[in-house]
Each structure stands twice: as structure tokens, then as C-alpha cells.
Amino acid sequence: MGRWGGENRALRRLLIAFSFVFVGAMLVLPLCQVLWKAFESGIRPFWASVSDEYALKALRLSLLTTVMAVVCNGLFGLCAAWALTRFAFRGKGFLITLIDIPFAVSPVIAGLVFIMTFGRMGWAYPFLSEHGIKIVFAVPGLVLATIFVTFPFVAREIIPVLTARGTDEEEAAVLMGAGFFQTFRRVTFPHIRWALLYGVILCTARAMGEFGAVSVVSGHLRGRTNTLPLHIEILFREYHTLQSFSCAAILVATAILILVARNIVEGISRKDADYHAR
Amino acid sequence: MTRKTRKKTLPGFGITMGVTLAYVSLIVLIPMASLALMSTDLGPAGFWKVITDSRTLVALKVSFLCSLCAALINAGAGLILAWVIVRYRFPFRRFVDGLMELPFALPTAVAGISLTVLTTDKGWVGGPLFRLLGIKIAYTELGIITAITFITIPFVVRTVQPVLEQLSPDYEEAGLILGAGRATVFFRIILPEILPALLTGFSLAFARGLGEYGSVIFIAGNIPFRTEIAPLVIMSKLEQFNYDEATAVALLMLVASFVVMFLVNRIQVRAASFAGEK
């Protein structure tokens, strides 16, 4: 270590300088640009465009889809992690592949699959229209598309933790007479709570900002099926730059909150892991 | 056999497995199968005609080449960033480290409009570049590469970083003591260790870039035969209610991303078996 640090000070400076330039130009500058454009003409125009009726409706819809996606995928993540790590069964590899698929799929295709299932071309359409259920170009479609793109996040975080811990502690608890929920709550949950929270944070980030998938299934009905990112797109295309960047500033604030939360959770879970390792 | 019976001592298999299977079927399996089913409507000849249409082919080429460039840039920059974060101590190191996930936390549409405004010939970055060098970024291929690079920054950094952290300095020190130059130590000792992670990060970035939509469509200008990306072709076919053709292009892109994912899997399996041998 000493030799690396001592002898090539020039290289070291060069690499650190490169990192700062790259991070500054690629990450910090775009953030500053959003905030600059949002507050260019003061706080009042910003506030006016943020408290606009359609902006608020879009924000509400974004929050709704995010909460739905996080709750559904969170519960699924817990179930899937338990089933996949606590039992041996045939087809496990295939199931894991299925769970990973949404990672590999373009957001546009994620939206497209729901159009092909529930839309006018889809096989489920006759049944749905008979019962007056609207999924595509309505809120349920937005929720489904958001769930799809954030599908693996929670499961992916919990599975490695449960695999690494093994089943000894839970088996002991069960043999001593604990039921399923008691075992889960008292034995398993304390180990996976940080992984769960971490997955929830990642899921929230992606769900809040999802654009491609919801864009396909939304139909862009202003005030009805426009999430905040879609609202930003429309404003930007109509050259309402100030309004567009003001709404974007809200999402920048959420993104920064998410980053801070992520770093705190990672720090805590690392300390936790160190403690258990000792 | 004994192992199998022992595993079943834990309760909850039925309920967790049931929830998992039902949820995976509803969100992933059935919609994806519907997409595959719909694409058979077109027939092999129709399918071939759609994917060999010159506009589609150019869009696929643009998507492919731009993602490749962005993934290469990130392979280089990501390796340097991971190295700097793990090996050096300098002011704002935690800040740089924590900022790495920004592209995952920031909604793609926000990144898209921000990068566009930054790089037009009146923007903070695009202005000077255009006046001094005559380079245009926004509304050209360079813009697409910039957007995809931004979106895929975390992949290489976050796959290489943990491997570098766990790399024991013993081998490097041995190499240095035995008289190898720093370049030799890097290329013969460190690089082979981190190569699987680097390739994995590169492929993940490439796959993500292929499907990226939200950030690219603002900056690309979307000129047919020049800066139109493959996901946008799907989108515009959908807007013309041309569902069959949209499905055909989507299917082709799905195959491409599955090939990349399969390669990632192979790399990881091989790396794991190498690590096992040691």
C-alpha cells in the first residue's frame, strides 16, 4: 500500500482530478442546471408552477403508483425470498430468471406487454370491457407498469442475505415450537430489515421516476393519467421550460433524499454486518 | 434424501410459494407470454419485413453503437472511479462515493431535459464547445451517447468496487518486492482479478443503454435515419396503432437483451469457478 501511495503521486493526483472532473461534469452539473432553471426568476414563479393544479395532480398520482409498487413488491420480495432460500424445489433457477427479467427489459417493452395483454389488441380485453374495467390508459395500467419495472428490487436485496445466513436459527426456533409468523418476526426479520429497507429505497427511486413504461400505458390524459415525469415531458415539449424544471426540481429533491437515505442505510447495515461478523 | 426432509421442517412453504408464483405469473409471465403470442400474428415473412425495414435497421444500429460507446466510456471512467474511491483517501471522497448512485435515483426524464438544456448550442457546456470547436452535442449522436453514459455510470463502478475492496494487497506487494513495475503489477495481478466484474458491469451498462428511453428522447432530437433509437421506433409504431410491428421490434430487442444477460451469467459462473479453484 505504501509503495502505491508514495511513489506515484503524479498518477494519483491525475486520477483523482479526473474523477472530480467526471463527477462534476456528468453528475453535479446536470443537478445544478435543474435547480438553476427552476429558480432562475425567483422563488415565486417556482412556487406558482409547482402548486399548479395539474402539477399537484401529477404528483399525487406519482405518489400513489409509488406506494402501490413499493407495498406490492415489498410483500412479494419477502415471500419470494423465503420460498427461494428456505426450501429446495425443482425449477428454482427458472423462477429466479423470471424474477430477474424486468431488469433486462426496456421500459418501453415493459409498457408494451401490458398493452398486448389488457389493451384493445389483448386477449383479456373482451372480458375486461364486458365488466367495465379499464386498465390500459388508466391508473391500474400505470400501477402495473410501475410494479413491473420495480419488480425484482426488494427480492434481489433480501435473497443474498437470507442465503448467506442459512437456516439453522430458524430451524432451532421451529423445533422449539415457534410458528411461522413468530419465527419470521423474531428470528428472520431482524437480519433482513436493512436489506428490506434498502430494497424499498431502490424501489421508491425507480417508481417515482419511471418514464418509458408509464408513458406507453398512460395515454397522457392531463390531470388523470399523467405522472410527474410525464407532466414534465409535456411541459418541456410545450416550451414551458420554467414550469417543467420547477417540477423537475421536486424530483431532484426526492432523488437527493433517496441518495442520503441509501447511504445512511448502507452505513448502518455495514456496521451491523461487522458486529455480527465479530 | 435426509437433506430434503430436513429442509421441510421450516413452515410457510405453501403460502410464500403460492404468493410468489401467482404474483410472478400475473406481472411477468402472462404479460410476456402475451407479447410472444401477439407477435405470431405477423407471420415469419411479415416479421422479417418489419425488422429489415431500413428505418428500423438504422435505429437499431444507432442504439447499438451509442450504447456500446457509452458502455466503453463507463468501463474506463468506472474503473478509474472505483480505483480512486477504494484506494485513495482525499477530501470529499464520501461525497463522490455517495453521488455514484445519482443516475439510479434521478428520474430519467429529469436527467434528459437537464442534459439537453446543458448541451444545446446555448447551454453551459454546449455553448462554449460549439463556439470554440464547432461540436454539437444535443440533437446528435453525441447527445445520445452523453445521455446513456449518464444513465449507466453506476454499473461499472458498483460492480468493480466490491472486488477491489476485497482484493488482498499481498499479491501486489509481492509483485512489487519481486521487482515488477507498477504497470506490470496492474496488468498482471490486479486486472485479471477485476476483469469479470468489469465485464459484468460493462455488459449491464450496455444492456441498459440498449433499452434506455426516458433520458435519450429529449437530447436525441429523434431525426429518422440519424438519431432515432430503437425504443422510440417501438413507441412511434404504437402511436400509429401499429401493434404488430411494434411487437416485432420489441421481440428483436428482447432477444438482444437476453443474449447480453446470458453472457453476463456465463461470465459470473466462470469467475465463480475460477475463484473456487484457488
Q: Report CB contact under 8 Å: B28, A122.
A: no
List the single residue in B with minimal CA-CA distance to A166: B7
Instruction: Please determine, for residue B6, whether its predicted confidence score (pLDDT) is greater than 60.
Output: no
Q: Out of A102, A116, A206, whose CB is closest to B28?
A: A102
C-beta separation of A56 from A226 below 8 A:
no
CA distances in angstroms from A56 to A51, A231, A253, B149, listed in the order given: 6, 10, 16, 32
Q: Report CB contact under 8 Å: B84, A19.
A: yes
What residues of chain B lie within 8 A of the CB of A151, using their CB? Answer: 27-28
Q: How would residue B84 be classed by pLDDT, with cut points 50, 70 and 90?
A: very high
Neighbours of A32 (CB within 10 A): 14
Residue given cell 435515483 in the structure block: B105
CA distances in angstroms from A41 to A100, A253, A258, listed in the order given: 45, 19, 27
Determine the pLDDT at residue B4.
47
Neighbours of A203 (CB within 10 A): 27
User: Is A19 or A93 the better-scoring residue by pLDDT?
Assistant: A19
Instruction: Please determine, for residue A5, whether its predicted confidence score (pLDDT) is greater than 60.
Output: no
Which range is most confident: A41-45, A79-83, B125-129?
A79-83
Neighbours of A51 (CB within 10 A): 10
Start-to-end Cα distance in chain B: 31
Q: Does A67 touch chain B (CB under 8 A)?
A: no
Q: Report CB contact under 8 Å: A212, B118.
A: no
Q: For chain A, give the percent of residues with pLDDT over 70.
A: 96
Instruction: Please determine, for residue A190, whether its predicted confidence score (pLDDT) is greater than 50.
Output: yes
Q: Does B58 touch chain A (CB under 8 A)?
A: no
Determine the pLDDT at residue B278.
46
Extents of the domains making up chain A: 1-39, 43-277
What residues of chain A lie within 8 A of the CB of B233, using their CB? Answer: none
Determine the pLDDT at residue B275.
67
Instruction: Return d(Cα A137, Cα A214) in angstroms, integer.
Output: 9
Q: Does A190 touch chain B (CB under 8 A)?
A: no
Extents of the domains making up chain B: 1-43, 53-277
Give the architecture (CATH level 2) of B53-277: Orthogonal Bundle (1.10)
- Chain A window 150-189: which residues touch B at a Cβ cutoff of 8 Å? 151, 167, 170-171, 174-175, 179-180, 183-184
Instruction: Return d(Cα A130, Cα A108) in angstroms, integer.
Output: 28
Q: Does B257 touch chain A (CB under 8 A)?
A: yes
Q: Report CB contact under 8 Å: A104, B260.
A: yes
Determine the pLDDT at residue B213.
93
List the single residue in B with minimal CA-CA distance to A146: B27
Q: Which residues contact A222 (CB under 8 A, 6 or more apart)?
A: A54, A231, A234
What residues of chain B lie within 8 A of the CB of A121, using their CB? Answer: 38, 243
Instruction: Return d(Cα A198, Cα A205) in angstroms, integer.
Output: 11
Return left, alpha or beta for B102; rule: phi > 0 is left, psi -120 to 50 is alpha, else beta: alpha
Instruction: Return d(Cα B158, Cα B152) in angstroms, integer.
Output: 11
List the single residue in B with minimal CA-CA distance to A32: B114
Among A3, A26, A65, which would you mutate to test the B interface (most chain B Cβ atoms within 10 Å of its Cβ)? A26
Q: Which of B16-25, B37-46, B75-84 has the lowest mean pLDDT?
A: B37-46
Q: Which residues contact A168 (CB under 8 A, 6 or more apart)?
A: none
Give pLDDT tens digits for B206-215: 999 999 999 9
The crossing angle, in degrees rounded to 10, of helices B30-39 and B243-277 is 120
Q: Report CB contact under 8 Å: A3, B173.
A: yes
C-beta separation of A141 from A135 below 8 A:
yes
Instruction: Return d(Cα B26, Cα B32) in angstroms, integer.
Output: 10
CA distances in angstroms from B173 to B80, B167, B186, listed in the order given: 20, 12, 11
Q: Out of A86, A95, A251, whose CB is closest to B107?
A: A251
Q: Out of B17, B31, B84, whose CB is closest to A117?
A: B31
Q: Does B13 touch chain A (CB under 8 A)?
A: yes
Give pLDDT tens digits for A237-249: 999 999 999 999 9
Kindly state the cell numbers that stand for A277: 461478523
Determine the pLDDT at residue A23.
95
Q: Which CATH superfamily is domain A43-277 in?
A: MetI-like (1.10.3720.10)
The mean pLDDT of A121-139, rounded to a whole number, is 87
**CA geometry: angle at B45 spanning B39 and B49, to 5°?**
85
Kindly state the cell numbers that stand for A173: 426456533
Determine the pLDDT at residue A224.
82
Q: How many CB pairs under 8 A join A and B?
A: 279
Q: How would residue B71 be classed by pLDDT, with cut points 50, 70 and 90?
A: very high
C-beta separation of B138 from B62 below 8 A:
no
Q: Out of B11, B15, B247, whose CB is closest to A179?
A: B11
| DSSP string across chain A | -HHHHHH-HHHHHHHHHHHHHHHIIIIIHHHHHHHHHHHTT-HHHHHHHHSSHHHHHHHHHHHHHHHHHHHHHHHHHHHHHHHHHH---TTHHHHHHHHHHHHHS-HHHHHHHHHHHHSTTSTTHHHHHHTT---TTSHHHHHHHHHHHTTTHHHHHHHHHHHHH-SHHHHHHHHTT--HHHHIIIIIHHHHHHHHHHHHHHHHHHHHH--HHHHHHH---TTTT--HHHHHHHHHHTT-HHHHHHHHHHHHHHHHHHHHHHHHHHHHHHHHHHHHH-
Q: Report CB contact under 8 Å: A8, B213.
A: no
Determine the pLDDT at residue B272.
76
Determine the pLDDT at residue B108.
94
Instruction: Return d(Cα A234, Cα A192) in angstroms, integer.
Output: 41
- From the list A1, A172, A165, A53, the residue with the least C-alpha distance to B87 is A1
- From the list A62, A88, A16, the residue with the least C-alpha distance to A251 is A62
Q: How would residue B180 be classed by pLDDT, with cut points 50, 70 and 90?
A: confident
What residues of chain A lie within 8 A of the CB of B234, using their CB? Answer: 106, 108-109, 112
State pTM to two decimals: 0.89
Q: Does B7 touch chain A (CB under 8 A)?
A: yes
List the single residue in A with minimal CA-CA distance to B84: A16
Instruction: Return d(Cα B179, Cα A175) in angstroms, integer.
Output: 59
Give pLDDT tens digits for B117-133: 999 988 898 888 888 88
Residue given cell 444507432 in the structure block: B62
Q: Out of B35, B80, B207, whose CB is closest to A18?
A: B80
